Structure 1
Amino acid sequence: MLWLYNIGIQLYALLIRIFSTFNTKASLFIQGRRNIFARIAQKIDNRQKHIWFHFASLGEFEQGRSVLEKIKEQYPEKKIVITFFSPSGYEIRKNYALADGIFYLPLDTASNAKKLIAAINPELAIFTKYEYWYYYFSELNKNNIPLLIISGIFRPGQVFFKPYGGFHRKMLTFVNHFFLQNQESMTLLKTIGIQNATLSGDTRFDRVAAHARSAKKLDLVQSFCGTQPVLVAGSTWPPDEQLIAKLCKAHPDWKFIVAPHEIGETHINEIEKLFPEAVKYSALQKTTNAAVGNQQVLIIDNIGLLSALYAYGKIAYIGGGFGAGIHNTLEAAAFGIPVIFGPRYDKFQEAKDLIALGAAKSISNWDELSTAFNELGKNKEAGLIAKDYVNAKTGATDQIVNFLSGYFKP
């Protein structure tokens, strides 16, 4: 199976190069890895030990961030290196202040694994949620460098639990300890003989709860909202935006804030066609105070505001449910507002939990959205239930860092 894995990696590299000629993300993927080891050598002193955090993308960074920051708080002398697989993580967090170096992860080959681990000299490697790379895991194992998975989650349909999944199961044996989100994951790992796991929960709960307590105020957004009820639509894609446009027309007494997942000029222009009288956040910044609040719809055309926007909402709509899967529902729930999202949420335990508690609704079409909006708009308890749910599940970060303290003893 290793030969097939190698072919898959090389095929992926070839496809990315082809796509890079016309796709921005693919181009960043290639450019960011060019001369990567020379850039690491310029930035990182490999005579010193580092804690290596790897994140697939931005969502995983936010998921593991609370652990990273807690380590830095308790052990400020520790050096930290971060790698990202995806441009959507690296490009947004490449200047994150608490890391001594932030890089793209080179593709998983035997040569790259040896070079990277020699270059960053990790005393500990921490991967968040998923991404299982054979050569990186194997090389860490050969060098007796502890590897931990935090906020891990497993499902029955994954290859690890298939009769033909022996190669992938071997990757899991290189992990020193798993911190898992739910009991199902614990049970699944036990079925393949893996016992070195702890049920800790999801570190995202710690992150979003802390952020909700200290979210920055957005005076322009507050002025836009005024005293009207607000729906915040976060991380939206075109199918989401088309539904929100209908909802906006049906409820002129509400304000709508649309924060799309992609903020490229083309996509923003398409959103403006759906909401022809909307104002963009960039334009709002140039508007006189007297004019702020005249529009019904605010389009967020920059990065970094979404998690603070939920503080101004009465209901949240979370995008992605008509595509690969919904985005982060917990950021909204932490602010005590109920959430609505599309039909593809089966991979997200928190979405299932919020639905069961009556603090969220999944929709598949306009009629279902209209009904969900009306019901949640009248339900004064749903938001409180969402917030209580988040707060009740905090604590994973402390549990993980307490465990890690065993590795940090002199």
Structure 2
Amino acid sequence: MNAGARLSDAAAGVALAAAPLLRRVRPDIGRVLAARRAAAAELVAWGCRREPGPLLWLHGASAGELLGAAATVRVLRAGVAARSGDRPQLLVTYSSPSGQAALQWLGPDHSGYAPLDRRRDCDRVLAVLRPGLLVFAKLDVWPGLAAAAARAGTPTALINGTVRDGSRRSRRAARRLFRESYAQLEAVGAASREDRRRLVALGARTDRVTLTGDAAFDLALERADRAQADGSAAAYRSALGGSEPATLRLVAGSTWGADERALLDALDSLVATRRDGGPGWQLVIAPHEPTAAHVRALVASCEARGERVVRWSRIGASRAAPAGAIVVFDEVGRLAELYAVGDVAYVGGGLGGTGLHNVLEPAAAGLPVVFGPRHDRSDARALEAAGGGLACSPGALPDTLAGLADPRLRAHRGAAARAFIESGAGAAALTADLLLPLWPG
């Protein structure tokens, strides 16, 4: 067993020993740990009863990684079916509960949490499932699972491969631990030239790393265009109160507490611009984790400022939000459709601590995309350089939004954002071509 796999095995044992404490002090982590502890048995049970036939296993940490892989998986499955006559079944696993939000775009035959990254669980699962290919999406290669796949003779690949600035895996000690795990990968699709260089530095073999781009661009375009074509954008627009020329809709997606405070402060400041003849703003906030507790706290914060606020789930039979109300969007998995009815987008996570979330979906909708300055996302920096993204501090947010009230500037930046996404499309087909030769037979 390689060093990274040994460390991962030991870490799983420590986590299990700490499980009773975690259930008390961090029940969210405790629930995930319990689900992953049960995952091996659940996957084995499914493997024993599934229909005979080839199997593709896709693993991603959470919804963002899995969504980025969706277009590639669709093309790959079709390619395998065309070559062999058998369309492979699809297993999707994740390590964060948000992964469930991606399932509607993947259509798996089975899905659930990944097993704990320890030898006995991974070997047990692979012995029963015997997938034709195991694909990791975007960020993480699990060393225990990768080592088990090598023992089982299952080829492994990494797609949309990204190594973010300051990644802990890039540190010298981590590179020593995980080098063998990356070296075992049969194919690596790198999202950018810089990612390619970093992946090779982590241990991926130079001859197995190909610059494919990030297929998340393909899905972002697909979702934005589908929202307009299938009527879902029109339905959202109606439910949010129609379209008033004097009101701009700011859709804030994947927000955390720091983002929400900054947005509400900015909204207070923008009230003055409306008195001076500027436009009004409708704020729609979609928290990254719309738990009951978080939504209650957000609603209370809005009300404490004297704002009228309504939860999306409680708009009711009228199907229209009250005029002037802040809308708290308490669903998951529908952000692309929500961005389609916005005038300006704000993406959360860039004010420190949590990490900036997906900027591609609002850009594909043709919106100027505003986000915090503390992030490690190369796609956000590229979007900003292309003119479609604006990084700003909380203090600068009111002025940034006031500037985007100018319809010409807003249209210019929105067009630049859409053009940026279109320029990055096509990675799904390139990545599927990279993976197809790995398929058995």
TM-score normalised to structure 1 length: 0.91
Residue pair 2:321, 2:327 contacting (<8 A) in 1 also? no
Single out whichever of 60-69 and 222-231 deviates more from structure 2: 222-231
Aligned equivalents of 2:41, 2:288: Cα separation in 1? 33
> Which position in structure 1 is the counterpart of 2:354?
324
> Which position in structure 1 is the counterpart of 2:163?
154
> Which residue among 398, 401, 414 is the counterpart of 1:370?
398
Aligned equivalents of 1:193, 1:211: Cα separation in 2? 32
Aligned equivalents of 2:236, 2:220: Cα separation in 1? 23
> Which position in structure 2 is the counterpart of 1:85?
95
Q: Does 1:30 align with 2:33?
A: yes
- The amino acid of 2:282's aligned partner reads K
Post-superposition offset of 1:300: 0.8
Q: Does 1:102 align with 2:111?
A: yes
> Which position in structure 2 is the counterpart of 1:194?
205
Aligned equivalents of 1:193, 1:56: Cα separation in 2? 20
Describe how 1:53-202 pairs up with structure 2 within 5 A.
Answer: 53-74=58-79, 75=81, 77-90=87-100, 92=101, 98-155=107-164, 157-158=166-167, 161-164=170-173, 165-191=175-201, 194-195=205-206, 196-202=208-214
> Which residue among 303, 328, 345 is the counterpart of 1:299?
328
1:88–1:21 distance in 2 versus 1, CA, 3 Å: farther
In structure 1, the residue corresponding to 2:283 is in which secondary structure? strand
Greater helix proportion: 2
Q: Does 1:333 align with 2:363?
A: yes
Post-superposition offset of 1:29: 1.3
Note the alpha carbon deviations across 1:107-140, whole angstroms, 9 max, x for none: 1111112111112111111100122222221221
Post-superposition offset of 1:356: 1.4
Aligned equivalents of 1:118, 1:73: Cα separation in 2? 26
RCO greater where, 1 or 2, for CA within 8 Å and sep 6 or more? 2
> Which position in structure 2 is the counterpart of 1:251?
270
Residue pair 1:156, 1:188 contacting (<8 A) in 2 also? no
Note the alpha carbon deviations across 1:76-96, whole angstroms, 9 max, x for none: 621111111122214x45677
Aligned equivalents of 2:170, 2:102: Cα separation in 1? 34
> Which position in structure 2 is the counterpart of 1:388?
419
Aligned equivalents of 1:28, 1:249: Cα separation in 2? 38
Q: Unaligned regions of 5+ residues in structure 1, if any? A: none
Residue pair 1:48, 1:121 contacting (<8 A) in 2 also? no
Q: Percent identity?
A: 24
Aligned equivalents of 2:358, 2:349: Cα separation in 1? 9
Q: Unaligned regions of 5+ residues in structure 2, if any? A: 272-279
> Which position in structure 2 is the counterpart of 1:273?
300
Aligned equivalents of 1:301, 1:63: Cα separation in 2? 23
Note the alpha carbon deviations across 1:131-151, whole angstroms, 9 max, x for none: 222222122123332111001
Q: Does 1:262 align with 2:289?
A: yes
Residue pair 1:150, 1:179 contacting (<8 A) in 2 also? yes
In structure 1, the residue corresponding to 2:64 is in which secondary structure? helix
1:118–1:95 distance in 2 versus 1, CA, 3 Å: farther
> Which position in structure 1 is the counterpart of 2:42?
39
Residue pair 1:17, 1:26 contacting (<8 A) in 2 also? no
Runs of 4+ in 1 over 6 A off after TM superposition: 94-97
Post-superposition offset of 1:384: 0.1
In structure 1, the residue corresponding to 2:233 is in which secondary structure? coil
In structure 2, the residue corresponding to 1:10 is in which secondary structure? helix
Aligned equivalents of 2:106, 2:138: Cα separation in 1? 23
> Which position in structure 2 is the counterpart of 1:399?
430
Residue pair 2:156, 2:184 contacting (<8 A) in 1 also? yes
Single out whichever of 46-55 and 68-77 deviates more from structure 2: 68-77
Single out whichever of 247-256 and 169-178 deviates more from structure 2: 247-256
Equivalent pairs counted in the alignment come to: 405
Compute the RMSD of aligned alpha carbons: 2.4
1:162–1:283 distance in 2 versus 1, CA, 3 Å: closer
- The amino acid of 2:369's aligned partner reads V
In structure 2, the residue corresponding to 1:254 is in which secondary structure? strand
Post-superposition offset of 1:56: 0.8
Aligned equivalents of 1:96, 1:397: Cα separation in 2? 14
In structure 1, the residue corresponding to 2:184 is in which secondary structure? coil
